Amino acid sequence: MSDILQMITYDPAVINEQLRAVAPTHQLSDYGSIDAIPADIRERITAAASSATLPFDAAMMEALPNLKLISVYGVGYDKIDLAAARARDVAIATTSTSLTETVAELTIGLVLAGSRQLIAADQFIRSGDWLKGPMPLGFDIRGKTIGIFGFGRIGQKIAELLEVFGARVIYCARSEKPGVPYGYRPTIEALAEDSRILIIIAPGTPDTFDIVNRDVLKRLGSDGLLVNVARGSLVKEDDLIAALEAGEIAGACLDVFAQEPKVPQGLIDSPKTVLAPHIGSATYETRLHMGMTVIENIAAMIADKPLLTPLTF
Ligand code: NAP
């Protein structure tokens, strides 16, 4: 008894084929919900091949009495009921070693898209505006102070890349990191106050919910740029729209939103936003590596070996 519940179809498709080779695999999409899966199959399921964007609540765990592992495609665990997993002794594995560099690269892309107005520049030509005169000026990253909220795997990689551009990095995390050459700020308010660009890359938790509010945005200031690659739950979107409309910040580059795939109209309509559909890890190589890591964790659990990338929670 070691069946797998596959909760999404993975891309690249080879991941789906390789997952099926590990153990009998049941597609959630064939049933619509876990409750609708026949009881004898539910009882055989010991692993769920899931995704960071899918909820996994206590009722779902309850419906899978022999579940031992939720293998997550992604590093976010904000949609999983951790207390329920702990109570039922369900382990969680994420793809924590797969996507750090790729998400950091996209972040640099968003920083440049904001500071050099790359999306507006493209539109400037297509609309014929260039024939009427030059574009408004952007600003350099070199020499600017860039604040990073969340200084784990991805935050530290972003800092490394920004150094190459000659930016001065400061950061905020729950604790100061010994031996890093960057200034620490104990609160997001202090970080925003001292930053020209504020990058958000901390997990979505009750502690970080709506942490980027109107006050933080005002502190970032009228020439400030917000870049969110973490989770939509960290930014109070109504406050962001109001701050953009009032000119309290210069712009926002966002890969994540509170109610994905729905994006507030105020962010879509604003000429000061750059929007991406949660593509932080969305490259062929990274997604393949993530998929293989999901599979390897499940195979390890079935073989009674240690998980490759367990989440400590
Ligand atoms: P990580 O290595 O676990 O680092 C998380 C960092 O956030 C740590 O520095 C931690 O502080 C800090 N943090 C946690 N709670 C905090 C709080 N209340 N106040 C201040 N700092 C806090 O995680 P990671 O791999 O860098 O990933 C970070 C997040 O990025 C993920 O949880 C996920 O939601 C998001 N993400 C998004 C995408 C995308 O596609 N856009 C892709 C991957 C990940 P300490 O170091 O002091 O513990």
Please answer whether residues 133 and 174 qualify as being in contact, where contact means their C-beta atoms are separated by less than 8 angstroms.
no
d(CA 189, CA 207): 14
Do 222 and 294 belong to one domain?
A: no
Q: Which atom of ligand 1 is nearest to the CA of 96?
A: 25
Q: Stretch 92-117: mean pLDDT, rounded?
A: 98
Q: What is the DSSP letter of 80?
A: B
Answer yes or no: is the C-beta of 202 below 6 A from any ligand 1 atom: yes
157-169 residue pLDDT tens: 999 999 999 999 9
**pLDDT for position 135:** 97
Asked if residue 307 is part of any domain, the answer here is no
- What's the pLDDT at 50? 98
Domain presence at residue 310: no
| Separation between Cα atoms, residue 56 and residue 50, nearest integer Å | 9
- Ligand 1 centre to CA of 97 (Å) is 13
- Same domain for 165 and 262, yes or no, is yes
Verify whether ligand 1 is closer than 6 Å to residue 174 (CB atom). yes
* CATH code assigned at 13: 3.40.50.720
**Is the model's pLDDT at 1 over the cut of 80?**
no
Are 72 and 60 found together in one domain? Answer: yes
Split into its structural domains, the chain has a count of 2
Task: Decide if 135 contacts 124 (C-beta within 8 A).
Answer: yes
So what's the pLDDT on residue 263?
Answer: 98
Assess if residue 309 is contained within a domain: no
Residue 309, SS3 per DSSP: coil
Tell me how long the chain is.
313
CA dihedral 269, 252, 261, 83 (to 10 degrees): -150
- In-domain check, residue 129: yes
Whether residues 91 and 152 fall in one domain: no
Domain that holds residue 20: 3-98+284-302
Pairing of strands 183-184, 197-200: unpaired
The span from the CA of 249 to the CA of 226, in Å, is: 8
Q: What is the pLDDT of residue 6?
A: 98
Assigned domain for 312 exists: no
Residues 140 and 154 in one domain: yes
311 is a domain residue:
no
| pTM strictly above 0.95 | yes
pLDDT tens digits, one per residue of 3-47: 999 999 999 999 999 999 999 999 999 999 999 999 999 999 999
Q: Tokens standing for 171?
A: 């950061």
Residue 308 resides in a domain: no
Distance, CA of 233 to CA of 227 (rounded, Å): 14
52-80 tens-digit pLDDT: 999 999 999 999 999 999 999 999 999 99
One domain, residues 43 and 190: no
Residues 104 and 238 in one domain: yes
CA distances from 102 to 45, 122, 243, 247, 251 (A): 32, 24, 30, 32, 23
- Annotate 288-313 with b (16+ C-beta within 10 A) or e (fewer): bbbbbbbbbbbbbbbeeeebbbbbee
Average pLDDT, integer, range 106-120: 98
| Active site (annotated) includes residue 260 | yes
- Averaged pLDDT score across all residues of the chain: 98
Q: Is 26 part of the annotated catalytic residue set?
A: no
CB of 150 within 6 A of ligand 1: the answer is yes
Distance from C-alpha of 255 to C-alpha of 106, rounded to nearest angstrom: 9
CA of 172 to the centre of ligand 1 (A): 11
Tokens for 237? 């979107």
268 in a structural domain = yes
Mean pLDDT of 284-305: 98
Amino acid at 15: I
**Residue 213 burial (C-beta neighbours within 10 Å; 0-12, 13-18, 19+):** middle
Q: Average pLDDT of 141-148? A: 98
Mean predicted confidence (pLDDT) in 131-141: 97
The answer to whether residues 55 and 106 belong to one domain is no
Q: Are 258 and 204 in contact (CB under 8 A)?
A: no
Q: Secondary structure of the chain: what % helix, strand, coil (to 5)? A: 40, 20, 45
Tell me: do 183 and 232 sit in the same domain.
yes
Q: Relative to the CA of 202, which ligand 1 atom is closest?
A: 7
Specify whether 90 is located in the same domain as 111.
no
Atom 43 of ligand 1: nearest residue by CA position: 75
pLDDT in tens, 268-282: 999 999 999 999 999
| Same domain as 298, residue 175 | no
Q: Are residues 112 and 223 in the same domain?
A: yes
With a 6 Å cutoff on the Cβ, whether 159 touches ligand 1 is: no
The pLDDT of 190-197, averaged and rounded, is 98
